[in-house]
Structure 1
């Protein structure tokens, strides 16, 4: 089988500690590479005085990584700028937070060209190339310009915004046209894919063919809806590990008989943490007879700390958590534990198993793998209840969760009450259905579904126009 070349913004080398720094996507990509062999290429996360294109190669736990350092200006304009101050808020429907600066766009294009220059010599003729996420929309086009005739796929891990929102992006047409250098584009849900098609039809006069190919003139690309999963068996095994059991006992002891509600999210406005806190506060005031029987543990490791928007959300949450505890805490009870650090995955597995409720309420999310990890970690004999935002991509696959509108404090409050009072029989029934889906459509299912589509494309399509330099 041909090698898989995965290209993403950041590369996280696997390690035996199940580091909390590894997100769900990083774990999924590592699993995919172990199965297929190949290289994972991207930014090291480190800064250099001058970009040289020098590659650092490492091999850890069966995964070969190739990383490069970026200059300070690259990081400011490409990563902190265009990726996280322009594209991220816009694609999560926060047009009010999106910043449009030419310098950001120029840095984004420059870094994609540098990535293409650096990774091109690593790609062998039979390799399949898989580019990940919004940081690298133009990378496929840049690889084509450098003579890469391999099959190249692209997967978007965030939502695709409605046409009216995307039209606010300067030169949106030009940016989206670069995606037609790919052979296959993947989305987590049919909704995100249809939003992409709507923009291409209305703004670019694209035509959708019966076989799922989107065509503009002589350019074409195959579109697929393909929701990512987790390594369900591996995560369930983590929940049975010694460290997870130790964490489980620690959480049960500290709960002193109270029910634990857990939220685990990167500190980001798209995760709906402020709205979640307000929903929990509404529960405390609406159901006073139950309030001292529960507590909320919110784990929110900081991210993108240099971006002002993220500094503001951290300050807001610190103030709100203090307000809630100040108004509701008693001598022997604190209703909200707010923790700004990450934890290893085996520790999180133990926390998930100890939690009566998993509270996953993003305002908008491409998928959300925390919901799937929570389900995978549960005790089959006494599972907890998943409360999930209807605006997460995962909601389409996880209909047996309690689906809520995260903007409604009342809905979140009522769902918490319903979950706390749910019978064991109903909890088991809901969990079994959720677990079956998590097991069936796992990370390897996702990998196979997408790469099968990609490998089915001819190496050089007759319909592809030459890409001009």
Structure 2
């Protein structure tokens, strides 16, 4: 969603997986023309999906990047599939790249893409943005093949990550593992190649979210929520169902809040929206079972006739519906165990009523915590701390709520998604001084922003 908003200002090509599996994919992508933006999409084989996507990308890289070493499952066959798909993507994309193009690659599914493009003769400036955390060298080093991945990073001219902590982790890994030498604050030399590693926290479409939040909604979920609330205060959590988001821990923290403050039972409702994803990956099936068991236990032990403590839904909702729900909520509960940025935190702030805003409770392990310092910052592993933050948020004065919200909104306006994209593209364009800019080839693997 964030990239879709950013890309409206530029003429270019969006290249990536179609989301479809076929027995005999075409060697060249299918071109879909949508005016200013063209889409070039390719199918994968069933083996590609298993080894590249479900395998190395989401069973090996994803858990390591989120500091979950014990969940990382490495397979040489999966790693070979990961490299194979990146090679086939590069071969197909190379035919579409024009001499004046910039190439902007997105996320961990495509780390080797620049190296593969260089191998087939592409000399254009190539940038990469890493949307999820970049772990400390000792964590990344636990993954077999991590040194090989680090060796291809300098084939990019510019690498952006969400926080300065992430940038420092990547720089240290390059120095320690592949002998990179600092040439400046964010520039490193690796042999004859140079790469700039910068912190570039992604923003959101602030104006668009504000407008969506102000419109009256007509969705069934919205009507049911409003009708069921009555005088109760709403707490909301919105996450893709993933072990990095800390959903069972969050439910247990809410349980602790109700146990510690029994007078709040029946006066507050917690709505957790968690669309499922990657259901073929065993760890996600396990997580789904744990969440449902936790939900059942809490609602069974603390629920009362006419009141259910936690409402849990796994459907996907539009931005307009989510924006209205954020605006209805007195508390936004955003407590991932580890997250690159977490745009839900920013969306929640943007959606609030200026006269009567809600309170954001935010994990200190989300990248957004480095920017939204006026949220109530918590350790998501400490259920007592989160429970007390919920109590504080529900009883915070309007004056304090407005002051905290205004400070965070100022941060959002200072770095919205359009400025984020323009800044990165300007920096990347600096790597070609003799050629005029025309369009951008934007490589993007999957549309997951939460």
Q: Give distance in 2, aligned partners of 1:398 and 1:335.
A: 28
Q: Give distance in 2, aligned partners of 1:94 and 1:409.
A: 20
Shift of 1:332: 1.4
In structure 2, do the counterparts of structure 1 residues 155 and 251 end up closer, same or farther at CA, with 3 Å as the change threshold? same
Q: Give distance in 1, aligned partners of 2:193 and 2:97.
A: 24
> Counterpart of 1:3?
none
Choose from 421, 424, 440 the match for 2:398. 424
In structure 2, do the counterparts of structure 1 residues 208 and 291 end up closer, same or farther at CA, with 3 Å as the change threshold? farther
Choose from 413, 418, 440 the match for 1:444. 418
> Counterpart of 2:149?
175
Q: Give distance in 2, aligned partners of 1:439 and 1:328.
A: 41
Shift of 1:218: 1.7
Classify the secondary structure of the residue corresponding to 1:239.
helix
> Counterpart of 2:120?
146
**What is the total number of aligned residue pairs between the two structures?**
434
In structure 2, do the counterparts of structure 1 residues 337 and 246 end up closer, same or farther at CA, with 3 Å as the change threshold? closer
- Higher RCO (CA 8 Å, separation ≥ 6 residues): 2
1:257-299 deviation line (CA, Å, top 9, x unaligned): 1000000000000001011011111001011111221011000
In structure 2, do the counterparts of structure 1 residues 266 and 443 end up closer, same or farther at CA, with 3 Å as the change threshold? same
Quick check: 2:162–2:200 contact (8 Å CA) kept in 1?
A: yes
Q: Give distance in 1, aligned partners of 2:106 and 2:19.
A: 16
Choose from 222, 231, 254 the match for 1:280. 254
1:118 aligns with 2:92: yes
Classify the secondary structure of the residue corresponding to 1:122.
coil
Quick check: 2:204–2:347 contact (8 Å CA) kept in 1?
A: yes
Choose from 70, 86, 110 the match for 1:136. 110
Q: Give distance in 2, aligned partners of 1:217 and 1:115.
A: 26
> Counterpart of 2:60?
86
Greater shift in the superposed pair: 108-117 or 167-176: 167-176
> Counterpart of 1:210?
184
1:115-164 deviation line (CA, Å, top 9, x unaligned): 00111111111011000010011100100111111110001011111111
Q: Give distance in 2, aligned partners of 1:53 and 1:435.
A: 46
Q: What is the TM-score with the length of structure 1 in the denominator?
A: 0.90
Classify the secondary structure of the residue corresponding to 1:221.
strand
> Counterpart of 1:192?
166
Q: Give distance in 2, aligned partners of 1:133 and 1:356.
A: 33
> Counterpart of 1:24?
none
1:67 aligns with 2:25: no
> Counterpart of 1:12?
none
Shift of 1:246: 8.6
Q: Give distance in 2, aligned partners of 1:394 and 1:33.
A: 22
1:58 aligns with 2:32: yes
Structure 2: gaps (5+ residues)? 435-450
Shift of 1:307: 0.4
Classify the secondary structure of the residue corresponding to 1:161.
coil
> Counterpart of 1:396?
370
Q: Give distance in 1, aligned partners of 2:97 and 2:374.
A: 43
1:295 aligns with 2:265: no
Quick check: 1:151–1:459 contact (8 Å CA) kept in 2?
A: no
Q: Give distance in 1, aligned partners of 2:340 and 2:230.
A: 36
Q: Give distance in 1, aligned partners of 2:408 and 2:218.
A: 22
Q: Give distance in 2, aligned partners of 1:41 and 1:254.
A: 44
Quick check: 1:130–1:154 contact (8 Å CA) kept in 2?
A: yes
Structure 1: gaps (5+ residues)? 1-26, 461-469
Q: Give distance in 2, aligned partners of 1:274 and 1:235.
A: 28
In structure 2, do the counterparts of structure 1 residues 415 and 53 end up closer, same or farther at CA, with 3 Å as the change threshold? same
Shift of 1:256: 1.5
Q: Give distance in 2, aligned partners of 1:246 and 1:315.
A: 26
Greater shift in the superposed pair: 446-455 or 181-190: 446-455
Q: Give distance in 1, aligned partners of 2:124 and 2:30.
A: 24
Shift of 1:38: 0.2
Quick check: 1:258–1:293 contact (8 Å CA) kept in 2?
A: yes
Q: Give distance in 2, aligned partners of 1:405 and 1:31.
A: 32
Q: Give distance in 2, aligned partners of 1:350 and 1:161.
A: 35
Shift of 1:247: 6.4
Shift of 1:458: 3.4
Q: Give distance in 1, aligned partners of 2:109 and 2:356.
A: 41
Classify the secondary structure of the residue corresponding to 2:266.
helix
Classify the secondary structure of the residue corresponding to 1:400.
coil
Shift of 1:61: 7.3
> Counterpart of 1:228?
202
1:186-233 deviation line (CA, Å, top 9, x unaligned): 011000010111111222221112252111222210111000000110
1:392-439 deviation line (CA, Å, top 9, x unaligned): 000000000000000000011000000000000000011111111112
Choose from 236, 260, 278 the match for 1:304. 278
In structure 2, do the counterparts of structure 1 residues 258 and 67 end up closer, same or farther at CA, with 3 Å as the change threshold? same
